[in-house]
Structure 1
Amino acid sequence: MKIFSLTLAISLGLAAAPAAVAAVAPPSVEAFFENPDFSGAIISPSGKHVAAKVGAKGKRNMLAVVDLATQKIQIVAHFSDTDIANVKWVNEQRLVFDTNDRQAAQGDAMYAPGLYAVDRDGARFKQLASRRGQGFKQSSAQRDLLPWHTVMHRQAGLPESEWTYVQDLQFNGKETVSDVRLLRVNTVTGRSQLVERPGDVVAWLLDQEGRARLAYMLNKDVVEIKVRDDESAPWRTLASFKAFTPDANAMDPVAFGADNTLYVRTNRGADKASIFRLDLASGKMDDKPLITLEGFDFGGRLVMRGGKLVGVHYLQDGEGTQWFDPALQALQADVDKLLPQTVNMLDLPTDLQAQNVLVRAFSDIRPASYYVFDRSTKKLNKVGDTYSGIVPDQMGQQEQVRIVARDGQEVPTMLTLPPQKEAKKLPMVVLVHGGPYTRGTTWGWKPEVQFLASRGYAVLEPEFRGSTGYGRRHFLSGWKQWGLKMQDDIADATKWAIATGYADPQRICIAGASYGGYATLMGLVNDPGLYRCGINWVGVTDIKLLFTGHWMYRDDASETWRRYGMPELIGDPVKDAERFKATSPIEQAHRITQPLLMAYGGADLRVPLVHGTRLRDAIRSNNRQVEWVEYETEGHGFHVPANRIDFWSRVERFLDRQIGQPLEPK
């Protein structure tokens, strides 16, 4: 196979991928947490070109375009002070993209993402939106551009046109968006047109012809979905329902189809959410679902071509695809035959008869690689590897298991076992996801999980109640259960790992970020005999402080979420004050006696630094086994590679000291 990534490295004078390390030595921490040299690709509407983001250690991400007929590669855009980020084909000739400084933490950010367009040969470069504005220096020339808070719209938009859609984000004076205004912008001239809107909109959906026909609105705690028959027709209400409490009318529009059809995701009285077809003319929904995933809420993306539903990319324990078109089923089979060790997700050009298809291939032990499949020759050409320093044989295999909690409720849990070790009495890290009201795990390679597995640790990731994706009952049963049944699920999953023989009961550490950091701390409080140590980064330590905020620190919680959402999902700060005290780590600091690693960002707007400093000081009054690190300019998570590498190096040393070796028998 001809490897485009190697050609790119040579033509740009970049370092080639490192040779595989010896089997006895795991990949370095840098191999997991440096910015990837190659970070994705997209295929053009005709399938004749591929746009890719390429870079190297210490280099900025650049935008390259590959002509698949000639295999000629050309860099069409790059900057000296920032990196290419999101990229989208406008038409066969033109691309639109924005930027993101991968070397700057949140507190060091000097520029907005900006918005740019360029031809596939590098011609007609055009800046569309400013990178400077409120909080940024702005020149007079940039005042002719769209404002700095203009961002790309995720959908492709107007087919075979120089125009695309962008979003003008309106802020409410804090860090939260209160209104999203949709604009058409000509990517050659920069001319823009505001799309008529029915009021303050938080999300838009385009139909298959690129027309803005659905607006998602949020007023206090009520969602209203507005639709229109075409761009000259008046807006009308399709549905209205409560945003933060269970409502039988709730639905999530997914895609427009042909003949005035809308595909929506809803429960329709069932526990699991499915895809239903809704007729916009009559407002009636089919009685039976069109797509249902056994054991899971529907998650994924419908693949539409010519207004027709040709397939679905879905998410169960991991990603998968179901094609409804026989020709596409045969295409998938051809690719899978060539790549039998990976899950292979196909990215189709707009033209279903196009010669080339882009493939994203991955597994639990293999990071994503991108290929182009030629349908005429039935051959693959590699475009690039996202993490070139990873050796699959040194990664851990994954499986989702279903454990039963103490009250009988099923808890989906991802188990990753370290390579080349007997799966018996292993040191284990119980890794708790953040959110908490989100899907936490997906089968597939993840740097944090596989870094731990490569160091010899089993990794257990419970999808505690309150996690999404596993049905209405599982989600709702986690409401107002911080530190209670949500915490019990994590403990019960840990006890399952001990009972089945996977985990050494004397060598288990609990870890997590954000809500996962909170659960780490409450695990040390509630189950001190279960966890030998804890690792908390950017974790919540005071539930009351989530509601009140702190006079010294900004936070990014919207007033709508704080007023309507948090009381329903977390609790009422007045009525539930005693529960908040009993389940806040800051109030239980005297009970945390195990070794603890804590890391926070000084510029965090989600969980401000005061959460960490107060708890650190409270624990240290009776527990000197607290290791503390603050990354002064980082936000809610660690953006700068040097900081990620430093943090995970600390994690490696901490775990080695605490659970790396079996305890000597007394």
Structure 2
Amino acid sequence: MFSPDGKNIAMLAAGANDRLVLAVMEVDKLKPKIVAGYEKTDVVFFSWVNNQRLVFGVGDRAIGDGDRDRGNGLFAINKDGSELRELIATGDTGGKFRVLNGYHDFLDVTHVPDSNDVYITRSTGTRKTPSYTLMKLNTQNGYNEVVQTPTNSVSFMIDKSGEVRVAETSEDNLSAVHYKDPKTQQWRKLIEYDNVKGHGFSPAFIAPDGQFYVTAAKKSDTVSVFRFDLEKNKLDDTSIVATKGFDFHGNFVFNKKENKLLGIHYESDAFSTLWLDEKWNSFQKAVDAALPNTANLIWGPETANNDTILVHSFSDVHPGSYLLFNTETKKFVPIGDVHPEVNSKTMSYKDFVRIKVRDGMEIPAYITLPKNSSGKNLPMVVMVHGGPYVRGGHWEWNRETQFLASRGYAVLEPDFRGSTGYGTKLFRAGWKQWGLAMQDDVTDATKWAIAQGYADPKRICIAGASYGGYATLMGLIKEPDLYRCGISWVGVTDINYLFDVTWSDTSGSAWSRYGMPLMIGDQTKDAEQLKATSPVTQAHRLTKPLILAYGAADRRVPLVHGEQFKKAAPKDAKIEWITYPNEGHGWRTLKNNVDFWTRTEKFLNENTAVK
């Protein structure tokens, strides 16, 4: 990341003992210097405060969620490593003079060149009604003050003059967007809407010139970027960025010196950029011509127009590289690779497809075929994403997909109905369809891969985590002739447990009271459906080999899910039961990841017999 003036670049890099450290490098000297590095912890995030000072947080990547009893804290340091100051403690109590406790979190910098201030938030609500207090914190002396914002605020947006300009509030199922008018210094409500049913808009960006951009689905199935006219209190008629078949997801590139928005990075089936500035469009063309096989996202410093810009280059087979590009000489200088040990030449390509399912709806999917294979009649793993109300597939390097492909497996990643990122129709078609049409989509995608000749119908395994683990169990139960085996980790086994297990982080939340009844099912009105589509009630039908894995410290899908399914399954069921005592909702530690995927490889070999 550039310093605001573009003279330095800060980065996270691997240091001693494989710990992440914070390093700073002068652009004209290209010699990184470690300014913050520790033996028993990692630097996990950072941001420039101004041209001289940075803030950063720490964490331990070597431990599981069950062992984490501290937050990331917040520390400030000069670019030369001097004047280190603790601002937010990693634990519950600060203890020192002007050190805040761990219930505070970093939000943003002020984007003002001479300011030493940053914005932080403090959790002041409850799980039932979350809310946050906004505070401004001086990184040199620790002085802090509360910033006035609307009641029940849950998120904030800082403009490029360093003032809080937008706040989102939430109470029960109602959300609202508020704007602080710079002329009156008063907050006014721009919109209020049902955050479960939608029909609102979300704040996206405030440009240096004060223009306000939002994302909304206006007269379209998909979400696009619009300018919000603050004088007329309405969206412009025409969108800034609209991608057919995809909801907008991306970020904004700006320059304060030029006082404008330069361009917008976005994702469709892959990643690209819409440039609103012709000079930057020419930079993009030059970079793409030199690096033709990757997505290339480019940035410059906030407050300068230097000849050097930063390039993030990546693809489905390349985890990513960072380079400097001189716009005058057209020369590149490599900074570093995300995973330098990965050889892109041995990785497998990922293709985006749309698959027509039984009711005529099209679902997106990514298919990866093993490199140097025939691409036909392959053993296949159907990877079902978690969420389920997220986008699962992306055109980028994925370690799990590449691991399986390197072992000879085709990998199918369907974005079944209920997935987000592809429009309202696909998303809402998944409401109350756990185990029903959502599961049918996975089944139909699997049959599509067979029909295309990619998959050997006798050697297919279904796998996934969280909701994907749920779909794995339902797939084995509903389609015993389609799948040879299943791999379910941190998977839901009873939908009612999501409501009733009091130590789950969903129990009692606004999501459980408003979102889940509408999108998953009402415990009273849909009682029979929830019972019929809960794997634990159908466990007696399990006939195929299964890996069933959980983290004992998981608060999203607690261990009881797995225990009850294992108890209800036939006594002769071939279940490989795995628990990791200190892991939560997924595996964080290298040791457990190696153990799980080693077991997975062996399990697949035993049940799909790779030829």
Q: TM-score, normalised by structure 1?
A: 0.89
Equivalent pair of 2:464/2:472 in contact (CA under 8 Å): yes
Matched, 1:562 2:512: yes
**1:232-247 pair list within 5 angstroms:** 233-247=185-199
1:274 aligns with 2:224: yes
Summarize the Cα distance change of 1:352–1:412 in structure 2 as closer, same or farther, 3 Å threshold.
farther
Q: Give CA deviations for 1:294-322 in whole Å, capped at 9, x if unaligned.
A: 22111111223234221110010121112
Per the alignment, residue 76 of structure 2 pairs with 117
Q: Secondary structure at the match of 1:72?
A: coil
Query: What SS does the aligned partner of 1:504 have?
Result: strand
- Asked whether 1:571 is paired with 2:521, we answer yes
The question of 1:170 aligning with 2:120 is answered no
Change (3 A) 1:156 1:388: farther
TM alignment of 1:149-168, pairs within 5 A: 149-154=103-108, 157-168=111-122
Matched AA of 1:447: R
Structure 2 residue runs without a partner (length 5+) = none
The Cα of 1:210 is off from its aligned counterpart by 2.2
Contact kept, 8 Å, 2:6 with 2:304, in 1: the verdict is no
Give the distance between the partners of 1:631 and 1:171, measured in 2 at CA.
32
SS of 2:55 mapped into structure 1: strand
Residue 107 of structure 1 aligns with an amino acid whose one-letter code is G
* 1:638 partnered with 2:587: yes
Aligned CA distance change for structure 1 residues 140 and 343 (closer, same or farther; 3 Å): closer
Match of 1:146 among 100, 123, 135: 100
Is the partner of 2:569 in helix, strand or coil?
helix
Quick one: which amino acid aligns to residue 112 of structure 2? L
In the other structure, the counterpart of 1:98 is 57
Matched, 1:616 2:566: yes
| Pick aligned residue for 2:499 from 547, 554, 559 | 547
The 1-side partners of 2:306 and 2:212 are apart by 27
8 Å Cα contact 1:260-1:281 kept in structure 2: no
Assess, with a 3 A threshold, how the Cα gap between structure 1 residues 582 and 57 changes in structure 2: closer, same or farther. farther
Residue 554 of structure 1 and its aligned partner are, at CA, apart by 4.3
| Range moving further from structure 2, 587-596 or 184-193 | 184-193
Q: In the alignment, which residue of structure 2 is the partner of 1:407? A: 359
Question: 1:315 corresponds to which residue?
Answer: 267
Relative to structure 2, which stretch is displaced further, 121-130 or 285-294? 285-294
Q: Any residues of structure 2 matched to 1:204-603 within 5 Å, and which?
A: 204-230=156-182, 233-247=185-199, 250-257=200-207, 260-306=210-256, 307-550=259-502, 553-557=503-507, 559-603=509-553
Deviation string, structure 1 residues 474-504 (Cα, Å, up to 9, x no partner): 1111000000000011000000000010000
Matched to 2:120, the amino acid is: V
Residues 209, 260 of structure 2: 8 Å contact kept: no
Equivalent residue runs for 1:24-173 within 5 Å: 42-55=1-14, 58-133=17-92, 138=93, 140-141=95-96, 144-154=98-108, 157-172=111-126
- Alpha-carbon separation, structure 2, partners of 1:170 and 1:577: 35
Which string of whole-angstrom CA distances, capped at 9 and with x for unpartnered residues, describes residues 409-468 of structure 1? Answer: 001011011110011001100000000001111101011111111111110010001101
CA RMSD, aligned part only? 1.7
CA distance in 2, matches of 1:117, 1:155: 12
How many angstroms apart in 1 are the aligned matches of 2:210 and 2:75? 34
**How far, CA to CA, are the matches of 1:227 and 1:264 in structure 2?**
12
Conserved in 2, the CA contact under 8 Å of 1:539 and 1:612? yes
Contact 1:88 1:156 in 2 (8 A): no
What is the SS of the residue equivalent to 1:178? Answer: coil
- Gaps in structure 1 of 5+ consecutive residues: 1-41
Give distance in 2, aligned partners of 1:154 and 1:587. 47
1:483/1:277 Cα in 2 relative to 1: closer, same or farther (>3 Å)?
same
CA contact (8 A) 1:395 1:419 kept: yes
Please say if residues 208 and 255 of structure 2, whose CA atoms lie closer than 8 Å, have aligned partners that are also in contact. no
Shift of 1:177: 7.7
CA distance in 2, matches of 1:157, 1:329: 25
Q: How many residue pairs get matched? A: 609
Change in Cα spacing, 1:154 to 1:432, as seen in structure 2 (3 Å) is: farther
Q: 1:260 to 1:361 in 2, by over 3 A?
A: closer
Greater displacement, 119-128 / 69-78: 69-78
- How far off is 1:378 after superposition? 2.1
CA contact (8 A) 1:157 1:165 kept: no
Using the alignment, how far apart are the partners of 2:52 and 2:412 within structure 1?
47
**Cα offset for 1:224?**
1.2
Q: CA deviation at 1:152?
A: 1.5
- What CA deviation, in whole Å up to 9, does each residue of 1:344-366 have, x standing for no partner? 11122113511321111111111
Quickly say closer, same or farther: Cα 1:406–1:554, change in 2 above 3 A: closer
Evaluate the alpha carbon distance shift between residue 329 and residue 572 of structure 1 in structure 2; reply closer, same or farther with a 3 A threshold: same
Partner of 2:577: 628
Shift of 1:371: 1.1
Change (3 A) 1:334 1:246: closer
Taking only the aligned residue pairs, the percentage that are identical comes to 44
Contact 1:393/1:419 (CA < 8 Å) preserved in 2?
Answer: no
CA contact (8 A) 2:500 2:507 kept: no
